[in-house]
Amino acid sequence: MSVDAKLVKTLRERTGAGMMDCKKALVEANGDLDAAVDHLRKAGIAKAAKKSSRAANEGIIFSYIHPGSKLGVLVELGCETDFVAKTEGFNDLAASIAMQVAASNPLAVDESGISQDILNKEKEIFMDQAKSSGKPENVVEKIVEGKLNKFIEDNCLVHQSFVKNPDMTISQLVQEAVAKLGENITINRFVRFALGEQSN
């Protein structure tokens, strides 16, 4: 099947993927642009998974100060080479992550950063709430498990819905960048400063 060059150009603009990848995706999708986008996203996520074991020892510390200068964020974003660290795409990703931290105030990058003490305390609160509803023990356990999972999802940066596109998580945003930039990318740490607030 021959693919219209304009369609390839449109797909490249929408996804940032290479010309040959766009051509292949359009052939696979029989010229359907939306299906081709899905195909490229799936392929990108597969590529990102393969790259996730590679060391990301380069990168940047990105700073974001919210208008009004009462809120600021520092994010350490890792990649494999200094070349990628200097690209616009990598810096855009860092800016998006910093804005996410400013807006949603997560406790940690992922589950490993939330202390067991915090999880135990939340579990205790959820348990008391569920028991007071008078539901049977097995139902109470399921309610507590569900609430705890939701707490982790809401408070871990990588699981949060991206504020600029709620259909996507921060983890998916990073995976898309990995697919576009061709290197493993890691969110190493962040700090959020709000005027008058104690830091975590």
Higher pLDDT: 137 or 42? It is 137
pLDDT 10s digits, 62-114: 999 999 999 999 999 999 999 999 999 999 999 999 999 999 999 999 988 99
CA-based torsion, 32, 34, 37, 41: positive or negative: negative
Q: The CATH number of the domain where 39 resides is what?
A: 1.10.8.10
Same domain, 26 and 102: no
Note the pLDDT tens digit of each residue in 148-180: 889 988 999 999 999 999 999 999 999 999 988
| Same domain (yes/no): 85, 145 | no
| Domain with 161 in it | 58-110+156-194
Shared domain for 161 and 185, answered yes or no, is yes
Mark whether 88 and 171 lie in a shared domain: yes
Q: How confident is the model at residue 52 (pLDDT cuts 50, 70, 90)?
A: low
Q: Are 136 and 148 in contact (CB under 8 A)?
A: no
